[in-house]
């Protein structure tokens, strides 16, 4: 927990003694708070240096507009979009980028607002969905979306809501926004009475006019379109997003494949061989993956970035 959240915890709980509504008003803006962007790991810099860089402009949660940095590799016709998680950045996918490019895919990633190199101070899942929409305008239908953690939830919500993607992969993803609000409550330590007020304000702030935004933000209550191939990868020892979330996602999407790992945690799973192989098999089925492969973006023996611990996803 960073210094901002430590201070906020005291302020929110002091306000709750006087008024739960006031405490919720203080807490909700912090739900969109993003810690200082993590640096690009040295192992990931070569891949990022080879990216074709651009940007897309989205409204942003504040409605003031924000430019989001985008990265593109490969020249294939099959576009695979990579969506990082909360407090993450596109560079975390570097090893997967190299593998996908070697399979002939065009790979597109982005740094969400207030993440990586992108502008902004606050963000929420609606920004990930806005980025999907802008990228869809630019590239057409996606062959696949691969989302890590919060980005995995965004992928599920986006495709369930109309983002055109033939295949979906989630890695260490939560099943719905309810978990995120519960984790946020645990982080700040406020009461259930304040939590109810936070949920009410959250719904009004981010989803005005929605009768039940929590159904809209749930891969369980609003699963993917029938027949959408889904791979759900999750480590049984994940301390950020419980493994039980993977089972919920898979159960709600019949036909989805659940890949469980052990000992990889929340971040290292992104670079694990068994996960990379499963993702490649999922997005590059035999009928489109046959024939000679283009050269890999980088040598296969580049070490895997271990990453850093991240805060609980929003």
- Convert the pLDDT of each residue in 98-124 to its tens digit: 999 999 999 999 999 999 999 988 899
In what order do the strands lie in the sheet containing 230-235? Answer: 52-58, 66-73, 106-111, 79-83, 142-148, 165-171, 230-235, 257-261
Which residue is listed with tokens 């040598």? 299
* 0.85 surpassed by pTM: yes
Angle at 305 between CA 302 and CA 311, to 5 degrees: 165
Q: What is the reported pLDDT for 1? A: 56
Count each helix (H run) and each strand (E run) in the chain, helices first: 12, 8
273-283 helix and 94-102 helix, angle to the nearest 10 degrees: 40
The pLDDT of 212-223, averaged and rounded, is 91
Q: What is the pLDDT of residues 279-308, one digit of tens each?
A: 999 998 655 443 443 333 333 333 333 333
Q: What is the reported pLDDT for 255? A: 81
Q: What is the reported pLDDT for 9? A: 86
Closest residue by Cα to residue 65 from 8, 130, 11:
130
With 0-12 / 13-18 / 19 or more C-beta atoms within 10 angstroms meaning exposed / middle / buried, residue 162 is: exposed
Q: What gap in Å lies between CA 66 and CA 60, rounded to an integer?
A: 6
Q: What is the reported pLDDT for 205? A: 85
Q: What is the pLDDT of residues 54-94, one digit of tens each?
A: 999 999 988 899 999 999 999 989 999 999 999 999 999 99
Q: What is the reported pLDDT for 55? A: 97
The pLDDT of 8-28, averaged and rounded, is 91
With 0-12 / 13-18 / 19 or more C-beta atoms within 10 angstroms meaning exposed / middle / buried, residue 262 is: exposed
Q: What gap in Å lies between CA 289 and CA 287, rounded to an integer?
A: 6
3-state secondary structure of 282: helix
For the ranges 41-50, 56-65, 93-102, 150-159, the lowest mean pLDDT is seen at 56-65
| Long-range contact pairs involving 272-276 (C-beta distance under 8 Å, separation at least 24) | 272/304, 275/171, 275/233, 276/95, 276/96, 276/99
Residue 214: CB partners within 8 Å, gap ≥ 6? 176, 177, 178, 199, 203, 221
């Amino acid at each position: 927990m960073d210094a901002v959240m430590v201070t906020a915890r005291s302020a929110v709980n002091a306000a709750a003694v006087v008024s739960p509504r006031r405490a919720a008003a203080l807490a909700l803006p912090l739900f969109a708070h993003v810690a200082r962007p993590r640096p690009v790991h040295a192992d990931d810099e070569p891949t990022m240096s080879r990216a074709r860089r651009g940007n897309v402009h989205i409204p942003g949660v504040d409605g003031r507009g924000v430019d989001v940095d985008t990265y593109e590799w490969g020249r294939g016709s099959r576009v695979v979009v990579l969506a990082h998680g909360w407090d993450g950045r596109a560079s975390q996918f570097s090893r997967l980028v190299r593998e996908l490019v070697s399979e002939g895919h065009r790979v597109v990633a982005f740094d969400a607002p207030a993440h990586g190199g992108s502008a902004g101070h606050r963000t929420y899942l609606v920004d990930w969905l806005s980025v999907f929409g802008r990228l869809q305008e630019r590239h057409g239908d996606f062959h696949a979306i691969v989302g890590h953690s919060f980005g995995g939830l965004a992928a599920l919500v986006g495709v369930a809501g109309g983002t055109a993607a033939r295949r979906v992969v989630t890695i260490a993803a939560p099943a719905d926004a309810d978990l995120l609000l519960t984790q946020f409550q645990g982080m700040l330590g406020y009461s259930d009475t304040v939590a109810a007020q936070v949920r009410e304000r959250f719904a009004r702030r981010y989803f005005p006019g929605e009768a039940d935004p929590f159904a809209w933000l749930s891969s369980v209550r609003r699963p993917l379109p029938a027949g959408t191939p889904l791979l759900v990868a999750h480590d049984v020892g994940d301390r950020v997003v419980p493994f039980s979330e993977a089972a919920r996602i898979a159960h709600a999407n019949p036909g989805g494949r659940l890949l469980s790992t052990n000992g990889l945690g929340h971040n290292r799973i992104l670079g694990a061989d068994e996960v990379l192989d499963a993702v490649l098999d999922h997005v590059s089925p035999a009928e489109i993956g046959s024939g000679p492969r283009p050269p890999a973006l980088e040598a296969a023996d580049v070490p895997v970035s271990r990453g850093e611990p991240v805060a609980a996803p929003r």
